[in-house]
Amino acid sequence: MDIIRSSRRLALAAIVSTLGTLLASPSSQAAETATAATTGNWPEHPISLIVGYPPGGSVDLTARLIAKELSDRLGQNVVVVNQGGAGGTIGAQRVARAPADGYTLLLGSTNEMVIAGMINKAVVYDGSKDFTPLGIIATQPMLLAASPSAGVKSAAEYLTKLRGAPAGRYNFGSSGVGTTLHLAGEMVNQATQTQASHVPYRGVAPLVTDLMSGQLSFGMLVLSSGLPQVQAGKLVALGVTEKKRSPVAPDIPALAETPGFESVDINVWFALYGPAGLPAPIVKTLREALAASLQAPVFRAKMAESGGEVAAPGLDPATFQASEVVKYGKLVRAAKIESD
């Protein structure tokens, strides 16, 4: 009898266990099925690559170059979608809220992925937590430029002029409060212990116009935006903001070559992101496709033409971004920058 009761208890336990599995697991089974369906044949239709800026700028250009390379390797069109506004944050927010299915990606840059959340309380996403970093694509130095009427031909002359003047006597322009260009100018102020006043513009075009006309003495520009005017003799290049000279313009010295500017090292970077929670198989596929794209000769040549330098192989995007958060956090706090 004890054996019979024991057998009955074992059978009953097996039935309960089976029923528990059937009753408790539909959601997990559905999730596994959905994940398999999402990743098994991914991508099954075109992918949207969101750019948080209007067409024509450096972020847009980088997106279009990498979209073609990714399309060739993924077997589906990667379509650039421009959703400009609020310094790139509207486009970034769209991707942060998108389904994590690999069909909505972001071409992000320093502004919206690192700086915006530090200075603007209206930014509701976290650039480090609400995205899946897929890879750094390229970097580009900035250029400290002078109006020809400023009478300054080098970084050393700039330093002499500013140190011999009252604080705030001279100014520098950027494309807006809290932009990478603004922070680069503040880095120069801090490194050289000078106090050039910041003049924010609504974009690069009016900034360049005022520099050329002499309405503004100095300005921070992305290298690709200022180089044509330098080559035409309409602006004076004082130096690029990376530690080394740019291969695109090797005749322009790095600011760090000049005593007093040694700690200046800052650039604009572009990276590929998906929403947080992107399935591991999709992440793997995208990272492999991106790594191959970055080595494509045509892509590398076109990036060089636009002033960019392709990121080094093996650069971990999460680690890189974490270091950028530390660097820009120090700059923002020291300069006491807040968005309007």
Indicate if 207 and 288 belong to the same structural domain: no
For the cut 50, the answer to whether the pLDDT of residue 21 exceeds it is: no
151: phi > 0 → left, psi -120 to 50 → alpha, else beta; which? Answer: left
In this predicted model, what pLDDT tens digit does every residue of 164-216 receive, in sequence order? Answer: 998 889 999 998 899 999 999 999 999 999 999 999 998 888 999 999 999 99
| Cα–Cα distance, 284 to 206 (Å, whole number) | 42
- 121 C-beta neighbours (distance < 10 Å), count: 8
How many domains is the chain built from? 2
Residue 118 counted as domain residue: yes
For the cut 80, the answer to whether the pLDDT of residue 6 exceeds it is: no
Residue 321 counted as domain residue: yes
CA distance readout (Å), 243 to 255, 262, 267, 305: 7, 8, 10, 20
Indicate if 175 and 249 belong to the same structural domain: yes
Averaged confidence pLDDT in the chain: 89
Among residues 187, 52, 70, 63, the alpha carbon closest in space to that of 125 is found at 52
In this predicted model, what pLDDT tens digit does every residue of 296-335 receive, in sequence order? Answer: 999 999 999 888 999 998 899 999 999 999 999 999 999 9
Single residue among 218, 236, 257 that ends a domain in this structure: 257
| Cα–Cα distance, 145 to 162 (Å, whole number) | 14
Indicate if 189 and 296 belong to the same structural domain: no
Domain of 225 in residue numbering reads as 141-257
* Predicted local distance difference test score (pLDDT) of residue 10: 40
For the cut 70, the answer to whether the pLDDT of residue 59 exceeds it is: yes
List the CATH number of the domain containing 245: 3.40.190.10
Higher-pLDDT residue of 54 and 272 is: 272
Residue 50 CB partners (closer than 8 Å, separation 6+): 81, 83, 91, 92, 94, 95, 104, 105, 106, 107
Residue 40 counted as domain residue: no
What is the bridge-based pairing of β-strands 47-51 and 104-109? parallel
Show contacts of 155-160: CB within 8 Å, 24+ apart: 155/238, 155/239, 155/253, 155/255, 155/257, 155/258, 155/261, 156/258, 156/259, 158/218, 158/238, 159/192, 159/194, 159/258, 159/260, 159/261
pLDDT band at 57 (very low <50, low <70, confident <90, very high): confident
Indicate if 183 and 113 belong to the same structural domain: no
Single residue among 257, 290, 309 that ends a domain in this structure: 257
Percent of the residues in the chain that have a pLDDT greater than 70, as a whole number: 88
Indicate if 249 and 153 belong to the same structural domain: yes
Kindly state the average pLDDT of the residues 56-76: 95
* Predicted local distance difference test score (pLDDT) of residue 56: 86
For the cut 60, the answer to whether the pLDDT of residue 72 exceeds it is: yes
pTM (2 d.p.): 0.84
| Cα–Cα distance, 221 to 210 (Å, whole number) | 13
* Predicted local distance difference test score (pLDDT) of residue 340: 59
* Maximum Cα–Cα distance across the chain: 107
Single residue among 257, 277, 306 that ends a domain in this structure: 257
Residue 124 counted as domain residue: yes
* Predicted local distance difference test score (pLDDT) of residue 7: 43
Indicate if 248 and 273 belong to the same structural domain: no
* Predicted local distance difference test score (pLDDT) of residue 46: 98
* Predicted local distance difference test score (pLDDT) of residue 13: 44
Alpha helices in 176-279 (DSSP H): 180-192, 204-213, 223-231
Kindly state the average pLDDT of the residues 6-12: 43
Question: Residue 92 burial by CB count (10 A; 0-12/13-18/19+): exposed, middle or buried?
Answer: buried
Indicate if 236 and 190 belong to the same structural domain: yes
Residue 6 counted as domain residue: no
Indicate if 215 and 280 belong to the same structural domain: no
* Predicted local distance difference test score (pLDDT) of residue 29: 41
In this predicted model, what pLDDT tens digit does every residue of 110-162 receive, in sequence order? Answer: 999 999 999 999 999 999 999 999 999 999 999 999 999 999 999 999 999 99
* Predicted local distance difference test score (pLDDT) of residue 338: 80
The two tokens of residue 113 are 């992925």
List the CATH number of the domain containing 116: 3.40.190.150
